[in-house]
Amino acid sequence: MKICVNCKLILILFVVSLFACTSSLKKDHFFVKKAVFEEGISLDTKIRQAAHVIPTKQQLEWQKLEMTAFVHFTINTFTGMEWGHGNESPELFNPTELDAKQWVKTLKDGGMKLVILTCKHHDGFCLWPTKTTTHSVVSSPWKDGKGDVVKELKEACEEYGMKFGIYLSPWDRNAACYGGSSYNAFFLKQLSELLTWYGKVDEVWFDGACGEGPNGKKQVYDWDAYYQKNHELQPDAVVAVMGEDVRWVGTESGYGRESEWSVTALAPGGKAAMTEINRHLNIQSTTTDLGSRAMIDKASNLFWYPAEVDVSIRPGWFYHESENDQIKSLAKMVDIYFNSVGRNALLLLNIPPDKRGLIHENDVARLQEFKAYIDRTFDRNILEGAISNSGVNANKAIDDQYESSWDVDVMSTSVEFTLTQEESFNVLMLQEQIALGQRVEKFRVEVMLDGQWKEIVSSTTIGYKKLMRFKKVKTNKVRLTILECRDGAHICNFGLFESPEILSDPVILRDKEGLVSLSTESPNLVITYTLDGSDPTKSSMIYDKPFLLPKGGLVKACAFTNDFKDISNMITEQFDICPAKWQVISYSDQVNSFPASNAIDGNVQTMWHSHWDNNVLSHPHFIAVDLGEPIEIKGFSYIPRAGTNKSGTVLKYSFYVSVDGENWICLKNKGEFSNMRNHPIKQFVRFKTSYMARYFKFESISGIYNEDWISVGELGLLTQ
C-alpha cells in the first residue's frame, strides 16, 4: 500500500533537536551495562545517566531473538515428577524414539530462535556423558549407554540454524559432594564440559533454586567462579537468571510487567556485592518496581538487566501424559506473547518432549497454530514506510551497527501519520532504539475519528518492543505522543496491524466484596450473560463493567466474535454469599506468605498454607471465621489451591458452627471429600438442617497425600 504523507507541518524545531541530539551522541556518554552514581548527585542527573545505560552487544543480540524455547527433559519425564529426588535409577531413562531434529524443526517452525536444554535438572541426572559422575546417560539403557542428548541437540541446532543454550542446575540432589567444599569444583567441571565439548553456546541458564543435597546440606555457590568460567570459555554467551546478563521476570506465568525496565536498580547475579545492593534496596526479581524514578532516586547503581519470561506450554515443566489435554489454548499463548515480547521481555517458552523423546503431537499442533496466528497478525504493517508530518520515518531497524551508528529518530512531541485511505487496525507496535538506552516513561496513541482525536491506548514503558491490543478502529490519521521520557526518546519502529479475532471462553470471577467481573483470554470479544438461569444468547445482557452479586446467584456467560458469527462454550458459576464481612479469628498455623486470611479473600488464586519445610505442625489444622453477623448456614464449599501442585489439599475434615465463637457445634464429623486425590475440584457439602450462626470452624483431619500440612484455595458457605 502506498502512503501519502502530509508533510505540511514540518516541525523545524523538531528536526533541529534531532540533529542536535544525534550529533552529540558520542559513545563515551553511554554506560555499557552498568552506571555507578557519584555520591550526592541530583535525581535529574541520575535520570539523565539512566537514559544512557545501554546493553552489551550480546544483550542486544539476545533481545532481538524475541522468542526462544526451553526443553525440559530428563529422568522426570519417565517418573512423572517435576523435581526428582536424585535417587532415581538411571535405568529409567529410556526414550524409544528420541529425535532432536524433530524438536528443533518443531521449535523453529514455531518461531523460536534459540533452544535451551535442561542438561542437568535438580535431580542431578546428566544428559551428556560427563566425566564427573556416573549418574548420567552413560548408566541408562538408552543407546546402550552410548548416547548424548546434548550432542544430538547441538547437531540438530546446527543443521537448522538454531541458537543453542544450556540449563545446568546448581542445585544437585544426587551429587554426594553437594553441600561440601568440593561441590563448586565438581560443578565447574560439568560447566566446562558443556562449554567446551559442543561448540558455540549462546545462553547459559543458572537456576536460582538452592535446596538440600543427598546429605541434607545446602551449598554456597561460587558464583564468581561460575561467571569467570563462562567468560573464559564462551565470552559471547549471555548468562541468565542467576546470571549477570538476563533477569528472571519474577513469575512463571508468562507475563511481564506493564512498566518493564531493562535499566534496573536490581543488581544482577549472585555475587556477594550484588546481593548486598539488593538487600540494601530491599528488592529482588519479583519486586514490582525495579526501575521507576522513585527507585532510581534510592539507587546508587543502575544496570542493563533485561527480563526473560519463562513459561511452559503445559501446566508442568516436564512432560506428563495426564497433561496432554492441558496444553495452553491459542488465546492464552497469544496473550502470553503480547504480554512478554510485547512488554519489553524475551519469551522463553518451554515445550517438553515426551517419553518417546519426541515433542507430542498436541504441542506441535498448538505451536503451529500459534506461529500462524502471529504471522497473520504482523503480516502487514499499515504504517510500513510511512513518513510523519514532521519527517519521521515510522520504521527503522533496531541498530545492528552497535559500534558506529547512532542515527535514530528523536521524539519530544507528537508525531502524526496520515494514510492515503482509511484502514482498520487493532494492534499497536512500538520500539525504542535500545542500543541508545531505554527512555520512554509514558506515551499515548490517538486516532482521528469524526474529526476528533480519540485516545486508543496509553501506557508507560516501551523498551525493545511494546505491543498493545484494542478494539478495532478505522481511520486515516494516527498520532503518537511521548508524554514523559528520560532525556529524549529514540523511537525506531511504529507499527499498526490488524489481528484476527480468537474466540475464547469467558472467565467469571467475584471478589471479596461481591463484585463480579467477566473476561476472556483474548481481548475485545463481546461477552453476554444471564442471571436468571437461562442460556445466554447474542441478545442477552452485554457485559461492559463489573456488577455486584454479594448474596450470590447463578451467572452464565458466553463470548462472541464481534460479528456474532462464532460463540464460545457457555461458562456457569454459582455464587453464594460473599465474604465481605468475614474475618479470621484463629488458625492452627500459617506461612507468612500464605496467610489463613487467603482462605476467605474471594480469590481462588491465593491460598492459605501451613508450614511444610520447617516447624511443621501436623493435622488437625483449623481456621475459625467470624462472619460479622448471624447467617443461616446450610452447608459449605472448599476449593483446593489453584495450579497443578495440589500439595496440602484436604481429604478428611470436620466442620463446626458457633453463636459466640467459643462453644462449637459439630455439623460434620470426619467427613471425606470424595475422589479428591484424582480430581481436586471445588467441593460442596450440604447439611441436613440449617443453622443460624455467626462463626464457623473448618478443621482438617488428613490430606490427599498424607502430608502434615494443609492448603486451602477458598472456603465458602452455602446459604441458599
Q: What is the binding site for ligand FUL (CB under 6 A)? A: 82-83, 207, 209, 310, 317
311 vs 525, beta carbon nearer ligand FUL: 311
Rounded Cα distance between 409 and 407, Å, is 7
For the CB of residue 209, give the shortest distance to ligand FUL in the complex, in Å: 5
Query: SS3 of 595, please?
Result: coil
Q: Return left, alpha or beta for 167; rule: phi > 0 is left, psi -120 to 50 is alpha, else beta.
A: beta
Rounded Cα distance between 365 and 357, Å, is 17
For the CB of residue 317, give the shortest distance to ligand FUL in the complex, in Å: 4
- Do 101 and 54 meet the contact criterion of CB atoms below 8 Å apart? no
Q: Render the burial of 430-453: b for 16+ CB within 10 Å, e for the rest.
A: bbbbbbbbbbbbebbbbbbeeeee
For the CB of residue 634, give the shortest distance to ligand FUL in the complex, in Å: 43
82 vs 224, beta carbon nearer ligand FUL: 82
Residue 302 bridge partners (DSSP): 35
For the CB of residue 82, give the shortest distance to ligand FUL in the complex, in Å: 6
- Do 568 and 558 meet the contact criterion of CB atoms below 8 Å apart? yes
Among candidates 254, 335, 341, which has minimal Cα distance to 504? 335
For the CB of residue 76, give the shortest distance to ligand FUL in the complex, in Å: 9
211 vs 500, beta carbon nearer ligand FUL: 211
What's the chain's Rg over C-alpha atoms? 28
80 vs 385, beta carbon nearer ligand FUL: 80
Dihedral angle sign, alpha carbons of residues 183, 187, 192, 198: positive
**Cis omega (within 30 of 0) on the bond before 170?**
no
* Amino acid at site 681: I
Rounded Cα distance between 234 and 239, Å, is 10
For the CB of residue 505, give the shortest distance to ligand FUL in the complex, in Å: 28
Rounded Cα distance between 719 and 686, Å, is 10
Rounded Cα distance between 537 and 539, Å, is 5
For the CB of residue 254, give the shortest distance to ligand FUL in the complex, in Å: 12
10 vs 209, beta carbon nearer ligand FUL: 209
- Do 419 and 384 meet the contact criterion of CB atoms below 8 Å apart? no
For the CB of residue 124, give the shortest distance to ligand FUL in the complex, in Å: 13
For the CB of residue 318, give the shortest distance to ligand FUL in the complex, in Å: 8
For the CB of residue 84, give the shortest distance to ligand FUL in the complex, in Å: 10
Rounded Cα distance between 242 and 267, Å, is 11
- Do 106 and 365 meet the contact criterion of CB atoms below 8 Å apart? no
Rounded Cα distance between 556 and 537, Å, is 10
For the CB of residue 240, give the shortest distance to ligand FUL in the complex, in Å: 10
Q: Render the burial of 126-144: b for 16+ CB within 10 Å, e for the rest.
A: bbbbbebbebbbbbbebee
205 vs 494, beta carbon nearer ligand FUL: 205
For the CB of residue 141, give the shortest distance to ligand FUL in the complex, in Å: 25
Question: CB 188: neighbour CB atoms within 10 A?
Answer: 16
For the CB of residue 508, give the shortest distance to ligand FUL in the complex, in Å: 31
Contacts of 365 (CB under 8 A, 6+ apart): none
Rounded Cα distance between 440 and 432, Å, is 8
103 vs 317, beta carbon nearer ligand FUL: 317
Quote the cell numbers at residue 518: 467477566
209 vs 692, beta carbon nearer ligand FUL: 209
Contacts of 383 (CB under 8 A, 6+ apart): 3, 394, 395, 417, 419, 478, 494, 495, 496
Query: SS3 of 308, please?
Result: strand
Q: Angle formed by the axes of helices 330-340 and 361-377, to 10°?
A: 60
First to last CA, the chain: 61
DSSP 20: H
Q: Return left, alpha or beta for 298; rule: phi > 0 is left, psi -120 to 50 is alpha, else beta.
A: alpha
74 vs 540, beta carbon nearer ligand FUL: 74
31 vs 317, beta carbon nearer ligand FUL: 317
For the CB of residue 310, give the shortest distance to ligand FUL in the complex, in Å: 5
310 vs 576, beta carbon nearer ligand FUL: 310
310 vs 423, beta carbon nearer ligand FUL: 310
208 vs 553, beta carbon nearer ligand FUL: 208
For the CB of residue 135, give the shortest distance to ligand FUL in the complex, in Å: 18
Rounded Cα distance between 636 and 577, Å, is 11
317 vs 594, beta carbon nearer ligand FUL: 317
For the CB of residue 75, give the shortest distance to ligand FUL in the complex, in Å: 13
141 vs 211, beta carbon nearer ligand FUL: 211
Contacts of 272 (CB under 8 A, 6+ apart): none
- Do 423 and 417 meet the contact criterion of CB atoms below 8 Å apart? no
Among candidates 255, 173, 253, 246, which has minimal Cα distance to 209? 173
- Do 571 and 557 meet the contact criterion of CB atoms below 8 Å apart? yes
119 vs 296, beta carbon nearer ligand FUL: 119
